[in-house]
Structure 1
Amino acid sequence: MKKIAISIGDINGVGPHIALLEHNNIVNICHPIYCVHQEILQNACEILHIDLPKNMEFSPPSARVIPISPGKLEAKSGQYSYASFLEACSLAQTKQVHSICTLPIHKKAWHLANIVEVGHTDVLSKLFKKKAIMMLGCKEMFIALFSDHIPLKDVSAKISFRELTDFLVQLYKCVKMNKTLVLGVNPHCGDDGVMGSEDSIIDNAIKLANEIIAKEVFVGPFPPDTAFSPKNREKYHFFVSMYHDVGLAVLKALYFYESINVTLNIPILRTSVDHGVAYDIAYKNRPNTQSYLNAISMGVQHGIFNE
C-alpha cells in the first residue's frame, strides 16, 4: 500500500477536522503519514468531541506544539502549517512516501509569519528550482494556470512568447493530453489587436509549442467568455488559462466540491484540496471532504487526469 504524507494545513481551519473525519476511509487505499504532532490532533478531537483514531502514524514537523484557536488568523498557525508542508516535502524527497497531499493553508497567516513564499506552489518552485505548474480540476475538466498567484495588473507583462511556449511544452510532457483549449487574455482575444497585442503572442506560442511537440495538441487562443460553453466542454477536457481567476471561477462554479489541485513539472507528486481554510465553519460545522478524498485518490493512482 502506497504511503502518502499529509500536510495538515492551518490548524485553526478545517484541515485537521477533514483529516480526522476521513482517516478510517483513506487507510483502505493508502498508508497516510500525518505531518503534525499527535498532541495537536488530540487537541482538535477535544474541541470536536470525538476520539482520536488509534492507528494514525505521525511525522511531526520541526515546530513547537501550539494550541488550536478555531477560526483565528494567526502568525503561529501560519508558521506551523509551513513547517508541516516542509516535513511532507522532505519525506517525499527522501522517498519515504509515494506522494504528498496538502490540506489548506492561509496565505495571510504565512505572510504574518514572515514566510516569503505566497503558497505551496511557490515553495515547490523554489525547492526544486523548476517552474511548478498549477493545474486544478476533476475528471470532468482540468484547468492549467499559466500565471497563478500574481496580481491581475501583472498578468499582461508576464505573457511572453518564450515563457508561454515553454509552459505549454512542459505541460504536455507532464500530462500527455490529446487536445487542450488555450484561453486568450483580452475580450474577444483582442479583436486582431484592437484591444491589446497579448493574444497574438499566445497564438504564436501555441503554434511553436505544437511544432516542438510534433502534434497539434493546443488549440486557440479562444475568447475566455465563451471558452467554457457546453459544446467546448464536451469537446475539451483540458484548458489553459492565462490568469488564475478566469479559469478557476468557472471550475469552482461547476465542480467546487469535486476539484483538486495538482502540482506538475516537479520531481515529486503533490495533490491538494481545492478550497481554503474555511475559518467561518472550522470546528463548528462538518466540512465537505470530497476534494480531500479525490486528492488522496489521485495521489495513489498517480495519473488519473491522463486521457
Structure 2
Amino acid sequence: MSAIKTVAVSIGDLNGVGFEIALRAHREISAQCRPIYCISPVMAEQAAALLGERLPEDFITYDVSGEYTIQPGTVSAQSGRYSYDSFLKALSLALSKQVDAIVTLPIHKEAWMLADVPYVGHTDALRDLLKSEAIMMLGCEKLYVALYTEHIPLSQVPHHITADGIFDFLIRFYASFPRSPVAVLGLNPHAGDHGVLGDEERFIEAAIARANRHIGKNIFEGPIVPDIAFTSRSRERYKTIVAMYHDQGLAPLKALYFDEGVNISLGLPIIRTSVDHGTAFDIAYGHKASLLSYRNAIQAALSLDNVVHHG
C-alpha cells in the first residue's frame, strides 16, 4: 500500500463558506489523506467559534499571518489578503515537496482587488508565479470542460480565435489530459453555419486538423455546434469538451453538475485542484454549504499521477 499523501488546503476567503466546508469534511478527508490547513491557529479558532464548533485535535494548521476579525458575508481587503497569503503558503509547501498537492477553497475576486493582489484568481497567479501555461479545466468524471479563454471580456474573445493559438492549446491540453474523443466547440451560433453567422470556425477547424496530424490520431472533433454539445446524446460520446470562452463552457456544465464539479489546473509542475463554486457569502457560517465539490477536489488531487505533466 502506498504511503498516505499530504495535501495543503488553501483556506480561501474566511468571510465565506470555505472554512465551514473544511471543518465539516475534516473527519472524512483525514481518513483519505493528511490535510494541512493554511491558516493560523487563532483564525481557525475564531472561525470554528462562529460555527459553534471546536477544532479537532488532529486539525493541523500552517501559520498564516495577518489576523483580523472575520465578518461573514462581507467583501473586505483583509479577507482578500489573508486568502491570498494562505494560497501562497500552500504553494510554497508544494514547491518545497512538503505536500503532494494543493486544494484551494474559494476566494473572492473583488476582495483580492481591494487587497491589491495583482491577479484575477488562482489560475492567473499560478501561471505567473510558476511561469507555466496553466489550463483551466472544470467538471467531474461525467464531463470535463477545458477553457480556451477564461477571465477576459466577451468582446475580446474573437481576437483570440487563431489557428496557431488553438493548435498550441490543444497540444498542451492533450499532453496533460490524454483522453479521446474531445469535442472542440465553435465560437458562433450553429458553429458559424458555414460562414453565414461568422467565420472564426475556419481557424478552429484548421487547428483541430493540425493538432490531430501532430498527435498522429483523431483526438479532437469539431467545430461542434455549441448549443447541442451538452445534450444527453452528445454527452454519451463526449466526456471532454474544449470551450472557446468562459460562459460557453461553464454555464451548461454548472447547470448539469454544479455540486459535483471541481477545478483542475493542468500543465503545472504541481498538482492543484479546487472547488468549483464561489464564496457563497449569503450562506456563510450557516451550516448550509455543500461538501461534495470539496470532497471531489480532494479525490481528484489524490488520483492525479505523481509525475505531473507539463503543458
Q: Give the TM-score band, short-chain normalised.
A: over 0.9
Q: What residue number does 1:103 align with?
A: 105
CA distance in 1: counterparts of 2:47 and 2:288, whole angstroms: 13
- Return the match for 2:70 from 55, 68, 71: 68
Other structure's SS at 1:89 match: helix
- Return the match for 1:32 from 30, 35, 40: 35
Shift of 1:106: 0.3
Residue 14, structure 1, aligned to residue 21, structure 2: no
CA distance in 1: counterparts of 2:257 and 2:272, whole angstroms: 20
Q: What residue number does 2:180 align with?
A: 178
Amino acid in the other structure paired with 2:140? C
> Do 2:8 and 2:37's aligned partners in 1 also have CA atoms closer than 8 Å?
yes
**Matched length:** 302
Amino acid in the other structure paired with 2:115? A
CA distance in 2: counterparts of 1:3 and 1:252, whole angstroms: 29
Amino acid in the other structure paired with 2:174? Y
Other structure's SS at 2:281 match: coil
Other structure's SS at 1:92 match: helix
- Return the match for 2:26 from 15, 19, 23: 23
Shift of 1:195: 2.0
TM-score (norm 1): 0.97
**Structure 2 portions without partners, runs of 5+:** 306-311
CA distance in 2: counterparts of 1:52 and 1:93, whole angstroms: 28
**Structure 1 portions without partners, runs of 5+:** none
Shift of 1:8: 0.1
Deviations 1:237-267 (A, max 9, x none): 1000001111111111111101100000111
Q: What residue number does 2:309 align with?
A: none
Amino acid in the other structure paired with 1:176? P
Other structure's SS at 2:144 match: strand
Shift of 1:285: 3.5
Q: What residue number does 1:199 align with?
A: 201
Q: RMSD in angstroms over aligned alpha carbons?
A: 0.9
- Return the match for 1:86 from 68, 85, 88: 88
> Do 2:12 and 2:18's aligned partners in 1 also have CA atoms closer than 8 Å?
yes
Q: What residue number does 2:265 align with?
A: 263
Shift of 1:223: 1.0
Q: How does 1:113-132 map to 2 (within 5 A)?
A: 113-132=115-134
CA distance in 2: counterparts of 1:67 and 1:8, whole angstroms: 15
Residue 57, structure 1, aligned to residue 30, structure 2: no
CA distance in 1: counterparts of 2:120 and 2:200, whole angstroms: 26
CA distance in 2: counterparts of 1:294 and 1:165, whole angstroms: 30
Other structure's SS at 2:53 match: coil
Q: Percent identity?
A: 48
> Do 2:135 and 2:265's aligned partners in 1 also have CA atoms closer than 8 Å?
yes
Shift of 1:225: 0.8
Other structure's SS at 2:227 match: coil
CA distance in 1: counterparts of 2:266 and 2:162, whole angstroms: 20
Displaced runs of 4 or more, over 3 A: none
